[in-house]
């Protein structure tokens, strides 16, 4: 996906001075919400009674030239079905009377989405809907979809991992087209609490599958929500789920975490549930944050406590479409842009809220980067030992007005290589920010290094550096 060295990865950084890691510049799409729950639309789609957490699984299907989305809806929700929008602020939401389903939508451009009438699952006496799985037909709860192009069996090309709500057991379903699904196959050896945005990926290289699911700190439906991981060779028999991430306390619970491979890293988007302190301004809300891993088993939260996708302003019923809860899908890279589709809702987690499907974007590789600490002064970053892999070394960076970046190549003793010191650098100034800025020096060329190892040193003044291109770690 990318050959860049992301600076948020500690394997790529040897030392930082006067620097802090900051999240990248996420931008919400002007067309948001891309679609909403439609039980009150004209004509109504009553099977979208409450989109709730949405739990979107989104892919760009190269074969079909389509963006495809599978998302959760309560097909029935007693309070939502019986309470008009105008009356909801005056009455309590109690939940109950629910039936869950997974629905399908598609788009040619990722912005305008359609919900086809598939004719697959009967609801209220009709099959004119976009339901592809239901609790009644498949026992599904909180699942996620994977398209597996390396699967030799066409009937298993699409895979769905979920909690079988009837058996209280994790299970798998399979499909040739992502629309018509097999009956669930329960995990024979292990289960998990699983009541969250279950998701799975196929590991690059080994071909094994990794499932990310829900746990609780006490193993039951109490305590703190945690993240569990399991592995499989065949998507049927799974290893015992092991905890890989938990928050600090009840106000910092990890509700779910979709993941994806990104270069030699794995990116996770943990949904952080704020449930502990009722006096807190963000009580009963959900934020999407950022986490990374080199192996899917050991995770580090990036800028914990800071949302990658900020919630909107206001509160129910007049707040913005995503002012209450944000649950993201795994990131998708298209060209020089990272697409962050997410489910948003306009109210508290355990109260009235109307759900929607939305999009936020980031420039390529800009999940997080280093910048100078607040106040006067420059930041200095020194990389891990590197070797040249391209015709030039490049930098993914933003430079503010009046800012400057200088670069040096140094040895293990911090001595500059001849002609490659900070004073020899051709500085990058304001207006030169970009995804692949060439680093150059007055008298020397990168080609002269041949195979000599070096560390890249960056001096940042009112600038943020995200990634290095044209180089690789010596241990990579």
The verdict on residue 413 lying in a domain is yes
Residues of the chain where predicted confidence (pLDDT) is lower than 70: 1-2
Could you tell me if 282 and 406 lie in one domain? no
Q: Are 49 and 100 in contact (CB under 8 A)?
A: no
For residue 281, being part of any structural domain is answered with yes
Give the containing element (helix H, strand E) for 81.
Answer: helix 78-82
My answer on whether 359 and 372 are in the same domain is no
Distance CA(38)–CA(49), nearest Å, equals 7
Residue 298 DSSP symbol: S
**Distance of alpha carbon 305 from alpha carbon 300, whole angstroms:** 13
H or E, element range at 145: strand 140-147
- Which tokens go with 114? 């359609």
Whether residue 354 is found in the same domain as residue 377: no
Is 16 domain-assigned?
no
pLDDT for res 450: 80
458, 465 contact by CB (below 8 A): yes
What three-state secondary structure class fits 409? strand
The answer on 390 and 345 residing in a single domain is no
CB of 363 closer than 8 Å to CB of 340? no
Edge-to-edge strands, sheet with 290-293: 259-262, 265-268, 290-293, 299-302
Residue 317 in domain: yes
Q: Using the 8-state DSSP alphabet, how is residue 448 labeled?
A: G
- The answer to whether the beta carbons of residues 101 and 72 sit under 8 Å apart is yes
Query: Structure pTM?
Result: 0.96
Output the domain CATH number for residue 125: 2.115.10.20
Q: Which of 308, 333, 363 is the last residue of a domain?
A: 363
Residues 272 and 163 in one domain: yes
Looking at 303, 332, 363, the residue that finishes a domain is 363
What pLDDT does 473 receive? 96
Is the torsion defined by CA of 309, 313, 315, 320 positive or negative?
negative
pLDDT at residue 1 in the model: 42
Distance CA 428, CA 398 (A): 10
Nearest residue to 82 via CA among 69, 93, 72, 66: 93
Q: Are residues 314 and 350 in the same domain?
A: yes
Give how many domains the chain has, as a whole number.
2
Q: Are residues 289 and 388 in the same domain?
A: no
Of 363, 395, 415, which marks where a domain is finished?
363
Neighbours of 16 (CB within 10 A): 16
Q: Which position has the token pair 């058996």?
A: 167
Residue 242 lies in a domain: yes
pLDDT at residue 220, as a whole number: 77
Q: Is residue 458 part of a domain?
A: yes
Domain containing 94 equals: 26-363
| Domain co-membership, 302 together with 434 | no
Residue 149 within a domain: yes
Question: According to the model, what pLDDT value does residue 451 have?
Answer: 83
Distances (CA, A) of 327 to 18, 71, 269, 322: 33, 11, 8, 10
**Residue 7 counted as domain residue:** no
- Whether residue 425 is found in the same domain as residue 340: no
DSSP 293: E
Domain match, 215 and 245 both: yes
Residues 109 and 236 in one domain: yes
Do 331 and 424 lie in one domain? The reply is no
Looking at residue 244, the DSSP 8-state letter turns out to be E
């Amino acid at each position: 996906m990318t050959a860049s060295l992301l600076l948020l990865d500690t394997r790529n950084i040897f030392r930082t001075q006067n620097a802090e890691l900051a999240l990248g510049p996420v931008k919400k799409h002007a067309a948001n919400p891309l679609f909403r729950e439609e039980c009150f639309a004209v004509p109504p789609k009553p099977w979208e009674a409450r989109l709730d957490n949405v739990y979107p699984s989104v892919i760009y299907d190269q074969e079909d030239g389509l963006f495809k989305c599978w998302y959760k809806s309560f097909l029935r929700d007693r309070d939502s079905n019986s309470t008009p929008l105008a009356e909801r602020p005056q009455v309590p939401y109690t939940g109950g009377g629910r039936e869950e389903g997974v629905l399908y939508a598609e788009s040619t451009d990722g912005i305008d989405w359609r919900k086809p009438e598939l004719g697959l699952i009967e609801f209220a006496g009709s099959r004119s809907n976009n339901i592809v799985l239901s609790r009644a037909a498949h026992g599904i709860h909180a699942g996620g979809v994977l398209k597996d192009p390396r699967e030799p069996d066409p009937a298993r090309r699409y895979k769905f991992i979920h909690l079988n709500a009837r058996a209280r057991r994790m299970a798998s379903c399979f499909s040739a087209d992502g629309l018509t699904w097999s009956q669930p196959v329960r995990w024979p050896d292990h289960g998990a609490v699983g009541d969250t945005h279950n998701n799975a990926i196929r590991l690059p290289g080994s071909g094994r599958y990794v499932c990310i699911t829900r746990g609780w700190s006490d193993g039951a439906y109490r305590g703190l929500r945690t993240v569990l991981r399991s592995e499989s060779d065949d998507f049927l028999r799974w290893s015992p789920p092991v905890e890989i991430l938990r928050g600090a306390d009840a106000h910092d619970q990890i509700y779910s975490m979709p993941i994806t491979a990104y270069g030699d890293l794995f990116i996770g988007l943990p949904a952080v549930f704020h449930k502990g302190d009722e006096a807190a301004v963000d009580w009963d809300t959900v934020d999407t944050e950022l986490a990374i891993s080199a192996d899917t088993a050991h995770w580090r939260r990036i800028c914990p406590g800071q949302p990658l996708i900020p919630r909107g302003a206001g509160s129910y019923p007049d707040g913005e479409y995503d002012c209450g809860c944000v649950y993201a899908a795994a990131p998708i890279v298209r060209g020089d842009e990272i697409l962050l589709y997410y489910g948003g809702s306009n109210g508290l987690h355990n109260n009235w809220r109307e759900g929607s499907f939305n999009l936020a974007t980031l420039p390529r590789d800009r999940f997080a980067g280093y910048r100078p600490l607040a106040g006067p002064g420059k930041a200095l970053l020194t990389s891990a030992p590197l070797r040249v892999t391209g015709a030039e070394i490049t930098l993914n960076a933003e430079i503010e007005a009046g800012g400057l970046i200088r670069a040096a190549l140094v040895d293990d003793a911090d001595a500059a290589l001849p002609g490659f010191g900070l004073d020899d650098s051709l500085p990058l100034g304001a207006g030169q920010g970009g995804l692949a800025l060439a680093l150059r020096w007055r008298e020397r060329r990168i080609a002269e290094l041949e195979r000599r190892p070096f560390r890249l040193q960056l001096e940042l003044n009112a600038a943020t550096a995200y990634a290095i291109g044209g180089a690789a770690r010596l241990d990579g």
